[in-house]
Amino acid sequence: MESISLIVDLTAIRTGWGICPLPPVASDTIQALGRTNDAIRYGSTVYYNVKDKDEYLKEIIKKVPSSASPEYGRLFATVIEQYDDFFDIDPQFFSPAEIWLTNLKSGRSFHAGAIRSEIVQASFGMEFEPPIGR
| 13-20+28-123 carries CATH number 3.40.50.880 | no
pLDDT tens column, 49-83? 999 999 999 999 999 999 999 999 999 988 888 88
Q: How many CB atoms lie within 10 A of CB 120?
A: 24
What's the burial of 54, exposed, middle or buried (CB within 10 Å: 0-12/13-18/19+)?
middle
Judge whether 39 and 22 are in contact, CB under 8 Å. yes
Report the alpha-carbon angle 34-35-39, nearest 5: 115
pLDDT tens column, 1-57? 444 456 678 889 999 999 999 999 998 998 999 999 999 999 999 999 999 999 999
**pTM as predicted:** 0.84
Domain map (residue ranges) of the chain: 13-20+28-123
